[in-house]
Amino acid sequence: MSRITANRSSKKPAIPNEVRQSPGQPSRPHVPDNLFDLTGRVAIVTGASRGLGQYFARALAKAGADLVLTSRKREDLAAFEKEVQSLGRRAASLELDVRDQRSIEKFAAAAENVYGHLDILVNNAGCNVRKPALEVTWDDWNLILDTNLRGSFFVAQAVARRMIPRSYGRIINIGSVTSVAGYAGLGPYGASRGGIRQLTMSLADDWGKHGVTVNCLAPGWFRTAQNNVMYEDKEWVKYLVERIPLKRPGQPNDLDGAIVFLASEASRYVTGQTLLVDGGISTGAMRALRKTT
């Protein structure tokens, strides 16, 4: 477990007192000039070595946040850490394996030490194995559930322990359209994402009194390294697009507004919710996958 570097050149103010929430007190009507401004906030994005995690991190950095980026291999973050710093934000890289309890504990302590406080967690690290249900193995199940569900819970717990003493936090669990719908070939994955939605509600109930909100951002169909192979099948893409009311798969930047909203003061009275950003596919036309049996 080690850190690459933290660019400490630009000193940012600590979280302003007027936007802190005190446990048991009604929320104060502080209205910053820009409800979406994240200046002075520190955001962790797990699984930032590629894919959606990098888009989330960019969007938060552009809104003003300093970043703690994680991957199982710190060297996989080196280039992206520099990119975030080139946006004028501080960025640090930490190793984290969400399937390893000791790794989570070490990471959380190190993350708090980087800038002295933690404000935002994007619980994005995840994996998938696409298989017909009859072919799913014991190990497939454990990999998916351990990473996506158990990992997200224990990362949230370790970070919340450090948010609660400051009476402020924004935890954003990444779910999926499979959090609310079933798809052939995605049984264990859907179970993990449905679990994330449920976990989000329970954690929101647990930690709301401490000023920590917990929400779930649930992307629909976005092309990334995790699912690239599916998008090479033009027939499937046509089939998928026909079932998306907005008539196209998601572009990762389509998630920028939602992640900044859930990380910012704009969402201060929103907790326990699942926000689907899916072009509307969850509204009804669910059979987007090719037949698997």
CB of 181 to ligand NAP, least distance (A): 12
Residue 189 annotated in active site: yes
* Closest CB to ligand NAP among residues 7, 227: 227
- Which of 64, 126, 188, 279 touches ligand NAP (CB under 6 A)? 126
How many angstroms separate the CA atoms of 21 and 251, rounded?
Answer: 35
* Closest CB to ligand NAP among residues 222, 261: 222
Crossing angle for the helix pair 256-263 and 51-62, nearest 10 degrees?
Answer: 60
Amino acid identity at 259: I
Cα of first residue to Cα of last residue in the chain, in angstroms, is 43
What is the DSSP-derived secondary structure letter of residue 116? S
What is the DSSP-derived secondary structure letter of residue 277? E
- E strand or H helix that includes residue 39: none
- Decide if residue 97 touches ligand NAP (CB under 6 A): yes
Tokens 């933690």 belong to 118
Scanning residues 149 to 208, which ones bind ligand NAP (CB under 6 A)?
174, 176
Q: Are 241 and 247 a contacting pair, CB within 8 Å?
A: yes
How many angstroms separate the CA atoms of 260 and 223, rounded?
Answer: 21
Catalytic annotation, pick one of 55, 189, 231, 239: 189
CB of 56 to ligand NAP, least distance (A): 9
- Decide if residue 93 touches ligand NAP (CB under 6 A): no
Three-class DSSP category at 142: helix
- Decide if residue 105 touches ligand NAP (CB under 6 A): no
Of 29-37, 80-88, 125-133, 262-270, the window that binds ligand NAP (rule: CB under 6 A) is 125-133
Of 80-88, 205-213, 221-229, 260-268, the window that binds ligand NAP (rule: CB under 6 A) is 221-229
- Decide if residue 277 touches ligand NAP (CB under 6 A): no
CB of 177 to ligand NAP, least distance (A): 7
29 CA to centre of own chain: 27
Of 22-30, 65-73, 110-118, 163-171, the window that binds ligand NAP (rule: CB under 6 A) is 65-73
Find residue 212's DSSP bridge partners.
Answer: 169
Of 106-114, 124-132, 205-213, 236-244, the window that binds ligand NAP (rule: CB under 6 A) is 124-132
Other residues' Cβ atoms within 10 Å of the Cβ of residue 73: 11
- Decide if residue 215 touches ligand NAP (CB under 6 A): no
Q: Are 208 and 251 a contacting pair, CB within 8 Å?
A: no
Q: Are 263 and 120 a contacting pair, CB within 8 Å?
A: yes
- Decide if residue 20 touches ligand NAP (CB under 6 A): no
Site size for ligand NAP, by CB under 6 A?
31
Residue 41, CA atoms < 13 Å, CB-side half-sphere: 28
CB of 50 to ligand NAP, least distance (A): 5
What is the DSSP-derived secondary structure letter of residue 146? I
- Decide if residue 226 touches ligand NAP (CB under 6 A): yes
Q: Which residues are catalytic?
A: 189
- Interface ranges with ligand NAP (CB under 6 A): 46-53, 71-73, 76, 96-99, 124-128, 147, 174, 176, 219, 221-222, 224-227
